[in-house]
A and B are shown apart, each in its own frame.
Chain A
Amino acid sequence: MTSLDRSTLRMGSLAPTGVLLSGLVGAAGIAATVILGADESGWNNFWKSYLFGYMVAVGISLGGLFFVMLQHITRSGWSVSVRRLAEAFASNLRWLWLGFVPIIILVWSGDGGVLYPWADPEIVKSDIVLMKKQGYLNTTFWSIRAICFLAAWALLAQFFVGQSMKQDVDGNVARSRRMQALAPIGILVYGVSQTFAAVDWVMTLEPTWFSTMFGVYWFAVSLTGFFSCLILLACGLQSMGRLKGAISREHYQDIGKLLFAFGVVFWAYIGYSQFMLIWYANIPIETGWFLPRQLGAWKWVSLLLIVGHFALPFVLLISRWTKRWRNLLAAIAFWMVLMMIVDVYWLVMPTLPPGVAHDAASLAQLTEDVNSGAVSVGWNLTIANFTAVIGMLGLLKAGTFAALWRCSLVPVSDPRLDESLAFENI
């Protein structure tokens, strides 16, 4: 156990430069997406790119909120010295709701069909299934739900981050008890809201398709992003001389275990379970979602996810020594962030024009049509895709650094800090 160097618990000059640079990258990225997003086919490319980037940012932040509440529920000792970094990610939920306002405005403007087919009255009229789903999938109810989710996350983040930061100053143990008391309720609210948010915002891009596992899949996606980013932030700060003696390889091993468990094994388990049930039943209304993801370039993206999001990190993270080797773990975490981004891209982007599957003579014919470009499955890798996700990640980093600007990098007055510093894996 190395002793905590209290002079290295401040961001110092890292915060203003980080916030400024990342904020500029973020603003430039979003601006570039707006400029590049519109093409001859309208604004579809922009909105899809924007939603893709937004879901990456919101997924990582939600993972932070979940992690913080989980530590309070279990009254964890080991995680106290990394909890502030998780709180910084979660604190982004206090402003990320702003990013969803344009999408709500889009849905209300009447052009919502560019993103969500159920928001276009013409499309709804032509589809009996969508008409029957109107009771749930209508602009008003959808917006109310979205506002409730965003508000709940912002309030939960405000409470847990706020209490923890206030405890830094007054050292009041009652704050820990208060957070422990609210965490179980908070995690229930989180579970329901993140499930329905994933369904409302991503699953209804294909409004006739449904999967009861989708919310759980989104949970795995978001935790993959969060644990990877947590490792990267901790490594980054330590390589800049911060957090000396606060985060040891014992902590890295434990976060590595969580990344292995949630981001690799659980992700694959849920993803496969979702696929297998649909594959086995083989009902057209369910298989329609996986069909474009097995056609054209998407087939290779799907295979990349199986290998790059499961097989490769499974082998890399299963051993003890890889999780305890900080730089190697950081490299794996960087790879996992990329995979999480590819995964969200794979969730948001692919489409199959209505009726195409029904009219296709055979799968072989459909595959040929997709490969020749006669049928589009939404594979359209544009610069706007990249600028959107880079912009959102820039804003996320700026927000995270801003949250750490004026506070200590570990909860210095937490009653379990000493336990965390002395933590050892047996």
Chain B
Amino acid sequence: MTSSPVQAGARPDAMVVDDMNPDTGTSQLWGLAAEFSTPAAIMEAAKKVHAAGYRWWDCHTPFPVHGLDFAMGIKYTILPIIVFFGGLTGTCLAVLLQVFTNSLELNIWAIVPVVGYQFEVSGKPLISLPAFIPVIFEVTVLFSALTTAGGMLLLNKLPCLYHPVLKSPKLKRATDDRFYLVIETRDPKFVRPQTEELLGSLDPDSIIELEA
């Protein structure tokens, strides 16, 4: 990348900024980004892009904009349901583990005979629920936490080691004071002239081409 980063906000009249690699000129278009300078503007834009039926698009903002998820039509996450079953797995596993290790005699599938650690504590039965609850609780919490963290990574398709949005120096202000709406070319509705026209109709400060 030899072209110097251009302060996009400095040229509000420039509607299309060429971001092609000047050395090869063969870089593939990945998507189009529209730049906005206020949360309200990107909120309005998101509503319109969602109404236009696009699916492969996203917003990049310097801070969480309340209500933007709703404006984009993003559905509520299914993570809690996954976590519930993760936690339930932990509960069952903890019960099994303790019953198994404390058991007197157990034949697994009637083939493998197992004798557990038969510790008798102050005359209590070997299999007694009150003593098991702390372990059940901890394993449930552990499995829920791991499912939460792992499920979050999976649902977000993380870790992501490369992303075209991060490649373009013009989108760096997404971490500072600019708001970007990016439509990807893989969207079935993406047709260069129409999509560009839609983005233009959203009254952006500029439109930026992103290469893959």
Contacts and interface: CB of A to CB of B under 8 A. Distances in A.
Given A282-B122, A320-B80, A426 B66 contact: yes
Contacts of B121: 280
A346 interface: no
Interface of B: 64, 66-67, 76, 80, 84, 121-124, 130-131, 133-134
Contacts of A424: 66-67
Nearest to A320: B80
B133 A272 contact: yes
Contacts of B80: 319-320
A275 interface: yes
Interface of A: 272, 275-276, 279-282, 318-320, 424, 426
Given A280-B131, A281-B122, A320-B76, 12 more contacts: A275-B130, A276-B131, A276-B133, A276-B134, A280-B121, A282-B122, A282-B124, A320-B80, A424-B66, A424-B67, A426-B64, A426-B66
16 contacts: A272-B133, A276-B130, A276-B133, A279-B130, A280-B121, A280-B122, A280-B130, A280-B131, A281-B122, A282-B123, A318-B84, A319-B80, A320-B80, A424-B67, A426-B64, A426-B66
Instruction: Enumerate the 4 nearest inter-chain pairs by beta-carbon distance, A residue then B residue, closest first.
Output: A282-B122, A279-B130, A276-B130, A424-B66
B64 to A, nearest CB: 7
A320 B79 CA distance: 12
Nearest to A269: B137
Contacts of A281: 122
Contacts of A275: 130
A318 B124 CA distance: 34
Nearest to B66: A424
A214 B167 CA distance: 60
Contacts of B66: 424, 426
A279 B123 CA distance: 11
Contacts of A319: 80
A140 to B, nearest CB: 40
B90 to A, nearest CB: 15
A319 B84 CA distance: 10
A82 B131 CA distance: 41
A255 B122 CA distance: 43
A281 to B, nearest CB: 8
